[in-house]
Structure 1
Amino acid sequence: MKKTPHASPTVAAFALAAALLGAATHVAARDNPVDPVSNPDKLDYRDVEARRPDFKEPFLRDGIVSRPEHFREIKPGINQAQVLAVLGQALRQQRGALGTEWDYQFKFQMPQSANYLVCQYKVVFDDGQTVRSAAWRRRQCLDLIPH
Structure 2
Amino acid sequence: MLKTVSIAVLASVLSVGSAYAGMLNEHNPNMRFESVSPALPELNERFVRNGKSVSVGLVRQIELGATPEQVSSLLGQPVRVTNRGGAQVWDYNLQFKTAEDGDIVCQYKVLFAGARQVDETVWRRPQCRELVLGHN
Do the aligned partners of 1:38 and 1:138 also contact (CA within 8 Å) in 2? no
1:105 corresponds to: 93
The Cα of 1:43 is off from its aligned counterpart by 2.3
Do the aligned partners of 1:63 and 1:105 also contact (CA within 8 Å) in 2? yes
Correspondence for 1:141 among 108, 128, 132: 128
TM-score by length of 2: 0.70
Structure number with the bigger relative contact order (C-alpha 8 A, sep ≥ 6) is 2
Do the aligned partners of 2:27 and 2:129 also contact (CA within 8 Å) in 1? no
User: CA 1:143 to 1:41, structure 2 compared with 1: closer, same or farther past 3 Å?
Assistant: closer
2:21 corresponds to: none
What do the CA deviations read for 1:58-101 (whole angstroms, capped 9, x no partner)?
Answer: x6211111111111111111111111111110000000136110
Which structure's residues are more often helix, by fraction?
A: 2
Q: Unaligned regions of 5+ residues in structure 1, if any?
A: 1-36
- Percent identity between the aligned chains? 30
Structure 1 stretches of 4+ moved >4 Å: none
1:79 corresponds to: 67
Superposed, 1:36-75 pairs within 5 Å as 38-39=26-27, 42-55=30-43, 60-75=48-63
Correspondence for 2:110 among 113, 119, 123: 123
Do the aligned partners of 1:69 and 1:146 also contact (CA within 8 Å) in 2? no
2:5 corresponds to: none
Q: How many residues align?
A: 109
Correspondence for 1:132 among 103, 119, 123: 119
Secondary structure at the residue paired with 1:50?
A: coil
2:93 alignment partner AA: Q
Q: Unaligned regions of 5+ residues in structure 2, if any?
A: 1-24
TM-score by length of 1: 0.65
Q: Distance in 2 between matches of 1:121 and 1:106?
A: 7
